Amino acid sequence: MMKRFDSVEAYLRDLPPASARILRRVRGIVRKSVPEAGEKISYGIPAFTLGGPFLYCAAFKAHVSIFPPLKGDAALAKKLAPFANAKGNLRFPLGEPMPWPLIPKLARALALQYTTRKTKRKTKR
């Protein structure tokens, strides 16, 4: 059974130290890159929100991940391609260097992707 967390901080406290360090840094980068974003637990993992979740991050046994897949920024997607799985979600193996300079760009791109999609849905109605 999956553990339930009532906050992002509770989720981070439950992680092994290496994973927690990485996700705390990701969290700080997202907060700085998209300062208007909120955060919550969604689907049992940390999610950053702009009315709804635009970025999820999670720790696993051998990697940390960021989802959903990036669309609409081919240049950034190409730089992140070594970390993408078959569905486009990003997997960063523990023990390998994180592409830290790409994380703020990814956070802003996913925020834009979400808000653009949300705006398109409203105009279709």
Query: Does residue 3 sit within a domain?
Result: no
Residue 38 in 3-state DSSP?
strand
- Per-residue pLDDT band at 96 (split at 50, 70, 90): very high
Query: Does residue 2 sit within a domain?
Result: no
Question: What is the domain count for the chain?
Answer: 1
User: Which CATH number goes with the domain that contains 113?
Assistant: 3.90.1150.200
Instruction: Evaluate if residue 125 carries a pLDDT over 60.
Output: no
Instruction: Evaluate if residue 1 carries a pLDDT over 60.
Output: no
Strand order of the β-sheet with 45-49 is 38-42, 45-49, 53-59, 63-67, 90-93
pTM of the shown model: 0.91
- Per-residue pLDDT band at 100 (split at 50, 70, 90): very high
The amino acid that residue 109 corresponds to is: A
Decide which of 27 and 3 is more confident: 27
